[in-house]
Structure 1
């Protein structure tokens, strides 16, 4: 005999609760501040260092906003055309940006002076990023080229030309500055190696790629194109691990939270969604008044900033509790000192091997395993202990085992009362109606000879009969209403067709296309 299989309780879909911890956390990003810029906002980028100011690119300028006052503290307007993709260096002291003429410029944040200019692109540059080695800058353009620049000499040290359409997103790996990742409107994501001066991996997203992100550790990358997110395993040769589509329109922007455990997406469908990267389920969603072009979270998870196509900039702030700051400081201290918890904690890229734990059977499963059907039924019917879904699952199991009659035979009115009350309560519920009818039929077949001998059972059976008559009457009224609506729809459809025929020109009626 094989191992006993536990009862499978059917899980019906539930409406997401607004009171779960995840929702409560994201709802703390409140009191949005709306600022109107001169044009659409294609790029928002936070400084990696405190106080985490952020650069907003719009029209022909880049504005550095203060994370404390939420007002522009610096404005860089040294562009001859529309500016794109302003981003900070890793120390927060320099900013690099491209523009629609193909120019790439490096600015000092404090003085706003132009420090370096790179001129070899011939079309708009939508991607500019600093390498973590602080001596290279990545740029990608609509001229289909990707260039890596040497900052001191202002010369391009690598030129990648394998893309066949506009290159609109890219990054340099934080783990290995020799690796560059780009996404293009030719629907591909490419990994480039500066040491080989060529492409070492190509992944086909299946739609024009708008944004990419690399996970910490560099083992995986997520790409956004059309309404779909795809997660690629770089260590597995570019295998697609997940494909997620929760937006209705094109996803335009991606970012991680401070711990990289949540992925935030912005889309043209006016929504910003938050995903749990463990299972890629949406844990929160926010609707905005216009299509979202850019979204960014501050490194300390205190600010959520969104840029829209109509020029609106939305800034939401979360008040960080002192306990959260203290916990983070304590964790950082442990990591610095190399304490025991540093070596035992689980990291994102770790594989955790656990021994399989023996799962204990529920009490009703234990009774079923011993073929004690009556005791199993009594166990699930105990008041306030089990949900209706568990009772329904057990009754179905008894019917499949041909043990329902065994379970309900030989009972007195006291032991039958919980079962009949369950039937009364759920006979009108669509999920359980058919099952309750089958159990009621079995109950009547067994106990009809003794009906009238127990006042308790007689009262319960009258209530059950009244509930059934009430449901039948309701179904009749519903059928009449549906028939009346069908008649009204049929008449309105016929009248509209007749009016179209009378108003149509004679030449249109005679057109062969209508035949």
Structure 2
């Protein structure tokens, strides 16, 4: 690469980042999350006849929820928390009672391998699909409303056409029971499935070879789902929650292990900003999808098998292996509900009107304001580094001799590390008199005991000593700085020795106290 192209492609020296403790802002955000989830109080507990294997909220108001347990699916009222309807036309244990996107129909599977569609108004069975050879654990409607998906212990995922009652696709590349499957909300042709064979598979029904990606979770997979936008996938198996990037070919980018036992259920909240996981350790964990930290947790009396959060974020329903159903409701102020409805109405039907408001419009209450950031001007030391003037760049970042203010210590260390990376530190420090050496020596003297900068500054000090040892004694100014630096390092080493002795003494006292107890 020639010098001209290097100048054009130059990137400013980034400020080095160091691990920081919790700030007031992060503490405040954590407290806000705790207050939010603490509003889900006074849980109503209902006893079902058997384990609650599936919970799902209706996508349309009033967001009633379906509970699948034993040989029936019950529809609970979201306002009274009592049973409104019961679907019991199953010959064996029912699984995965799921609503159609318009809330008018429901699909469910059973232990005999049958998939049935019900009209919720009359509770009449409209369609019955027979093709699976084992228990159907998962069902769901496609967003096009004319197809349903089912996944079974017979290792297949099937897509059924409702009008013709035939299987359009049979996806059969799994080697063990398929326990989770879902259809992308953004594209009904994209399907995700997870199996006890440890693999996640991403299918595209438009492709001649439908399986387009295979991801190895490493444990039998109990649950998996698309995150908002369908560009990322979350999968649960064993006690690990793994995250995958669809856009880069299904690559794994993070593993979370906050549960002590197997994770059995995953779901998103109504806003899509939080992911919930439930497991056999009786815990439900809430993750913030921005940083994937656990922001809250709930403890339940039995192993969690299923759960769901209502689309309006007012209800959290959890089903357990003991047959208990926990219903938590969050008290919401009227103004909050009105604000959410108004924002959703604007997004849904007011897009054209929104963009026709004109440039003079100042925005409404609750609008998200995007501010344009001014392009930062390149720092003077970056301009000099860009031209390979390494010594001058070091002088400038240290304050120079022209009345310029020195940069922040972290920026000085960042420039020093850039010079080390380029192999130009000796060049930058070379050919200096006592006046030229004074700024860097004073900086080392002031900050070498700071644990964040110690490693870099010790290296720089060793380079200076090696370079200027032959001329020590020729400048009173530099000699005094070197003597001060020596005394400072000796004092720091002495302090470290005393701290080690103190820690050893404390450990001895603690061990002695434990023996006495």
What aligned pairs does 1:337-348 form with structure 2 within 5 A after superposition?
A: 337-338=350-351, 339-340=354-355
Give aligned pairs, total. 420
Q: Distance in 2 between matches of 1:60 and 1:237?
A: 40
Q: Is the 8 A contact 2:444 2:457 kept in 1?
A: no
Q: Distance in 1 between matches of 2:16 and 2:240?
A: 37
Structure 2: give runs of 5+ residues left out of the alignment. Answer: 1-10, 364-370, 380-396, 400-404, 413-437, 462-477
Q: SS of 2:113's equivalent?
A: coil
The question of 1:151 aligning with 2:180 is answered: no
Q: Distance in 1 between matches of 2:287 and 2:506?
A: 45
Deviation at 1:306, TM superposition (A): 0.7
Structure 1: give runs of 5+ residues left out of the alignment. Answer: 346-351, 381-390, 410-433, 443-467, 490-515
Change in 2 beyond 3 A, CA 1:342/1:120: farther
Deviation at 1:480, TM superposition (A): 5.0
Change in 2 beyond 3 A, CA 1:45/1:10: closer
Q: Paired residue for 2:236?
A: 224
The question of 1:11 aligning with 2:20 is answered: yes
Pick the aligned partner of 1:202 from 206, 209, 214: 214
Change in 2 beyond 3 A, CA 1:276/1:118: same
Deviation at 1:311, TM superposition (A): 1.0
Q: Is the 8 A contact 2:144 2:188 kept in 1?
A: yes
Q: Paired residue for 1:508?
A: none
Name the Cα RMSD after superposition: 4.4
Q: Paired residue for 2:90?
A: 79
Q: SS of 2:52's equivalent?
A: coil
Change in 2 beyond 3 A, CA 1:317/1:485: closer
Deviations 1:387-426 (A, max 9, x none): xxxx9669969995889x979x9xxxxxxxxxxxxxxxxx
Change in 2 beyond 3 A, CA 1:20/1:342: farther
More divergent stretch after superposition (74-83 vs 315-324)? 315-324
Pick the aligned partner of 1:139 from 138, 146, 150: 150
Q: Distance in 2 between matches of 1:146 and 1:474?
A: 61
The question of 1:296 aligning with 2:305 is answered: no
Q: Distance in 2 between matches of 1:343 and 1:216?
A: 30
Pick the aligned partner of 1:163 from 174, 178, 182: 174
Deviation at 1:147, TM superposition (A): 1.3
Q: Is the 8 A contact 2:75 2:85 kept in 1?
A: yes
Q: TM-score, normalised by structure 1?
A: 0.69
Q: Paired residue for 1:236?
A: 248
Q: Is the 8 A contact 1:365 1:376 kept in 2?
A: no
Pick the aligned partner of 1:44 from 50, 55, 60: 55
Deviations 1:328-366 (A, max 9, x none): 233234433222499999xxxxxx9977757999x9975
What aligned pairs does 1:10-409 form with structure 2 within 5 A after superposition?
A: 11-12=20-21, 20-196=31-207, 198-335=210-347, 336-338=349-351, 339-340=354-355, 357=376, 366=407, 371=439
Q: SS of 1:259's equivalent?
A: coil
Deviation at 1:13, TM superposition (A): 7.3
Deviation at 1:138, TM superposition (A): 0.7
Deviation at 1:199, TM superposition (A): 2.2
Deviations 1:64-95 (A, max 9, x none): 11110111111111112111111000111111
Q: Is the 8 A contact 2:156 2:170 kept in 1?
A: yes
Deviations 1:90-133 (A, max 9, x none): 11111111111111111121222111111221211101111111
Q: Is the 8 A contact 1:373 1:398 kept in 2?
A: no
Q: TM-score, normalised by structure 2?
A: 0.69
Deviations 1:278-327 (A, max 9, x none): 22221111121211111111011111111111111111111222332233
Q: Distance in 2 between matches of 1:288 and 1:152?
A: 43
Q: Distance in 2 between matches of 1:480 and 1:221?
A: 51
Q: SS of 2:340's equivalent?
A: helix
Q: Paired residue for 1:501?
A: none
Deviation at 1:48, TM superposition (A): 0.4
